[in-house]
A and B are shown apart, each in its own frame.
Chain A
Amino acid sequence: MSAPVLSVRGLDVAFRVGRGARARTVRAVTGADLDLRPGRLTALVGESGCGKSVLTEALTGLLPATAAVRGSATLSTPDGDLELLDAPESDLRDRVRGRLLGLVPQSAATHLTPTRTVGAQLRETLARLGAGIPVAELMERAALPRHVLELYPHELSGGQAQRAGLAAALAGDPPVLLADEPTAGLDRPLVEHVTALLAGLADEGRAVLLITHDLRAARDVADDVAVMYASRLVETGPAAEVFTGPWHPYTAGLLGALPDAGFTPVPGHPPELSALPPGCPFAPRCPERERCSGDPEPVRHGDRTVSCSGPVGS
């Protein structure tokens, strides 16, 4: 397998929220290890509120100042390795965002300026990045028809808005693309269109991270998958292996909840990120908890990791 272009190790992100008696620490990401490789689409799946978006915000330096971040995230660049978590904002702004890391934000429509056409916004993005490609080529890469250039954001369909966000993220031709829920609220044919576009961008040699709660979309296009639960990456590995033979009981539970695979919910609720239980956060909902030591440290077996000390993991 190719060397990772972005390598995350032991990433912790915590926020202090509330005041006085209500002050508490929200642990949004705990001990995350993740590699993004050129030419591969990695899907990050998990329930809403499990910390998926915070992970991308940490990588792009977009976290609020109240966040406490630990660990490392190393990006390979033509000028050598860059440590993203220690990089000054000026570096992130001038070298990283848009040029080395493209970000397709959640609900792209709300990130477009409502009073300007798509064309005006994309041309500005290209000019700011100093990218030498014509806007027509950018439209083609994002599978947008030419006439969309003349449209204002409110005239776009959900799928077009999402592709306009993708076009903006591609303006600087970044080798790494982070797409945060690019298919939320789209119907099935559009979901397939957007995920196929992302898969095509990976095939051209980019490293793509697709963050989604849509397990079916992930199953259809991902090369690698990372399953997140209550701030931890509980299972990672090649998608074909994880989706057909999950090791972590949470992955197995999520797959069993799909309409074509049993339609049975995982019992109970995920814990609050401000009140994570010690040890394995999934233990209270886990069907295998009796046969497990409750240690959530990830164990590596070949290209797969699993944070489970129960029968499936050992």
Chain B
Amino acid sequence: MSLRADAVTAGWRRGRPVVDRVDLAVPPGSVLGLAGPSGCGKSTLTRVLALLHAPWSGTVSVDGEPVHRFRFAAPAALRRRIGVVFQSPRAATDPRLTLERIVAEPLRAARVPAAETARRVAEVADLVGLTGELRGRRPHEVSDGQLQRACLARALAPRPDYLLCDEMTAMLDASTTAALVSVVSAEVTGRGLGVLAVSHDEQLLDAWAGEVLRPWS
């Protein structure tokens, strides 16, 4: 049981692999840290594990089930088991939608009934600390920290088994960083979420993750 990469090689331009034969396993109920400098391939590896980018070779498997070669997108049912939070919440949200609707988006895409969607959105919004008044606002009416809270809620709404946090807190102040990390940690101990925390900030990872991989050092 884990989200695994076995000998994964991936990249964007032919002949220039960004990720070269990487092995790692994210077990449920724990936080694995992945550290490395800017431009080393952390985000590419995260996209491969999120099943958003097909590896050139090697295998990604979810709880022992290998994800077979796909061209543009892996099956939605598999992708829904893996949540992702990106670095820039502004780039990751639709400016026309309210925060509530942003959080609901993955549930709507999965055709979860409206009543159930509303209930789950309220639940995760409470979890990340989005107050009722904030939920009706659009991205330009909130701070980066508040918007990143919505992005974390969106990732948690489909109750994924694994969560990938790609520099989730790089743009946030110390207090919001600590708040989001404690939300994620509660899911890890509470329901066995498996987390990959990707960051260039080793001090953050040492405080957050049980084990920290440094494949590039």
Count: A-B pairs, CB below 8 Å: 81
A259 to chain B, nearest CB (A): 4
Main secondary structure of the interface of B (DSSP, over half): helix
Chain A residues at the B interface, C-beta cutoff of 8 Å:
46-49, 157-158, 184-190, 213-216, 253-255, 257-260, 263-266, 268-269
* Interface residue B143 (Cβ < 8 Å from any Cβ of A): yes
Contact in complex: B173, A215 (CB < 8 Å) = yes
Contacts of A265 in B (CB 8 A): 175-179, 182
Q: Can you list the 7 inter-chain pairs with the closest CB atoms, starting with the nearest?
A: A49-B143, A265-B179, A259-B207, A187-B200, A265-B178, A257-B178, A257-B174
Contacts of B146 in A (CB 8 A): 269
Indicate which residue in A158, A213, A259 contacts B173 across the interface (CB closer than 8 Å).
Answer: A213
A12 to chain B, nearest CB (A): 21
* Interface residue B127 (Cβ < 8 Å from any Cβ of A): no
Indicate which residue in B37, B145, B181 contacts A187 across the interface (CB closer than 8 Å).
Answer: B37
Tell me, in angstroms, the Cα distance from A46 to B181 when the chains sit together. Answer: 19
Whether A266 touches B175, Cβ cut-off 8 Å, given contacts A48-B143, A190-B38, is yes
B187 to chain A, nearest CB (A): 16
Indicate which residue in B129, B131, B200, B208 contacts A259 across the interface (CB closer than 8 Å).
Answer: B208
Whether A47 touches B38, Cβ cut-off 8 Å, given contacts A259-B207, A260-B207, A263-B181, is no
Tell me, in angstroms, the Cα distance from A48 to B145 when the chains sit together. Answer: 7
- Of B129, B131, B174, B179, most A-chain CB atoms within 10 Å: B174
* Interface residue B18 (Cβ < 8 Å from any Cβ of A): no
Closest to A158 in B: B38
User: Among residues 149 to 163 in chain B, which have CB atoms less than 8 Å away from a CB atom of chain A?
Assistant: none
* Interface residue B123 (Cβ < 8 Å from any Cβ of A): no
Contact in complex: B208, A47 (CB < 8 Å) = no
Contact in complex: A260, B182 (CB < 8 Å) = no
B136 to chain A, nearest CB (A): 12
